[in-house]
Every structure is written in structure tokens, then in C-alpha cells.
Structure 1
Amino acid sequence: MFRALFLLFIIVPIIEIALLIQLSEVIGGVATIALIIVTAILGAKLVKQQGVGAMREAQVQMAQGQMPAKQMFTGICVIIAGVLLLTPGIVTDVFGFLLLTPAVRNKMAATFASQAQVRISQGMGQSTFSAEFHSHQQHQHSERREEHTTIEGEYERKE
């Protein structure tokens, strides 16, 4: 994991710098800088708009007693998109704008949900002995916890 992140932090800036140099040769240095500024401003505006919308939807769902999982995922995607859009570069802007697209987010959410279901179902494939053993251990642990969690006494506040 560390190696992948390290490579990501090395390779992505190199690609970004190379693309910005090539772009500046085609459209000019001032136009390239203006493009970077415009995408950052536009991205910040979209991030704010979609972030506030996701927060409102999450509050509505929580008020109805529902878990706002989709809105939480949307919020995470919007935060990541904001970081990507504020980072100068072409590749990061493309990925940032993709994360702000609801169709892309919905596809990602469906993919993550199906992977989570596969992992959960694979975890359920334990043998009966193993499941009973873990259940017995948890029961013993909870009994021990109940013995030691009650403290009796009197409380008096002195000011």
C-alpha cells in the first residue's frame, strides 16, 4: 500500500508537469495558467453545490430514520473531487470532474457495494464448528465484561 501511494505521488506529478508543458506549447503559457485557474474556480463552485446538496439529502434521510449511505458516499466523492480539482493539472482535473458526475458516482457505488457483498458472503462461508467456536468465545468475553463493568458507590459533587 505504501509503495503504491509513493509511486502515485511521484508518477502523477511527473505526468501533470509533462502535460502542462505540452499544453503550454500548444495554447501558450498564459492560457495554460488561465485554464488551471478557471478549472479550480469552476471545480470549487461545483464541489460546494454538490456537497451542500448531499448534506441536505443526508439530513432528510436521517430525519426519516434512514441511513444516508448513498449521500455519505457522494460526500466522500465530492471531497476527493474538490482536492483533485484544486490540484493544478490536467489529469487530476479530469478525475475530479468525473467524480462530480452522478452517473460515474452511481457506477462506483454499485461496484463497491457488489464487492462488499462478495466479501461479506465469503466471510459467511465459515464451517459450523468455527462459527460455534467464535460464538462461544464472544459469549464468554461478554460475561467477563459484565462482571467488571458495574461500579457501585455514591457520588457527591463538591464545588
Structure 2
Amino acid sequence: MVETGDDGPDRADRIAAGADAAKSAWQATLEEAEALAERRRDEGREAVVVGAGDAGLATTDDGDVRLEFVVPGDDAETAERLVADHSLDRFDVYRRTVDGDVFIVVEYFEPDGPALLVAGAYELRNAGNAFGAAADDPGFYTRLQTLDRTPVAEFAHADRSKFVPEDVLPVEE
């Protein structure tokens, strides 16, 4: 390690430590998604896991907030088929925050039917930016899309609190 005086580790070491924490958190997120899928399969249900190559919160032109997951081509086709063939109208969210990143698994499912589990991560600062730019009472959506922004599936959510840490959400009056 480079000596930097009494100020502690140098910037490169802090960045490396953060990268290691992010890699570990991402690996744990994927493992948890696979474990959830395996439980659904043990119940006799179809379960598909999609690992998003990128994710982020954005404000739409209408002033709503959307969590966008970029999914690879093969996974996009599988997810699109599952959404087209089933009403995945229920959802649950599993998340943790590590060093400014939110690691998340969203499970879209049909009771006693198939489940689509999407694993992703987004930067917490993007949540503040998105909600800061949103309308006074924004809707909240999740969207799966390919790298070229082709929509795969979109879901509306009445309760956004499961997706975003509470201290980021606007205070409701």
C-alpha cells in the first residue's frame, strides 16, 4: 500500500475495496436469485432468473419514475415469453444497499404459477436524482429492455417503497 500520511488509505485502495464489496454483493444477489428460483422449482413452478447487465432509475417524460433493467438477448426472449404467456401481476422485492449501490432481486409471479426473477443493481444517487426530477406524485414502473432500449416488459407498481430505501423517497404530506 502507498503511504499517504495520517489520512488513511490512498484513493486507489478505497476504490479497490469498494469494487471488491460491489463484486461480492453482486455475486450474493445472483446466488439469492438462483436460490429463490430453486425454491419455486421445488414447489413445481417454473422459475426463470435474469441477471440485468445494467440497471438504473430514470424519470420519464410524463414525470414518473422507472427502474430500467437492461437484459441480454437470450434472457430477454425468455422473459418476454413468460410475460406474454402468464399474468405475472404480483411482485416481491429483495434488496440491500452496499457502498452507495442498491442490489435488488424483483420477483414477478403468478400465484401457484411461474416466477420471473430479475437481479440488478443501481446507484443510490440515481434514485435521489430521479425522484428529485419527478412529478409531485409520480407513478413507479419497472421495465426490462434490451441494450438497444427495445422494451421487453413493463410493470406498474403502486408501492415503490420496496424498491428504494426510505430515506431517498420524497416525504408524503
Q: TM-score, normalised by structure 1?
A: 0.31
Higher relative contact order, structure no. (Cα contacts within 8 Å, ≥ 6 residues apart): 2
Pick the structure with more strand per residue: 2
Q: TM-score, normalised by structure 2?
A: 0.29
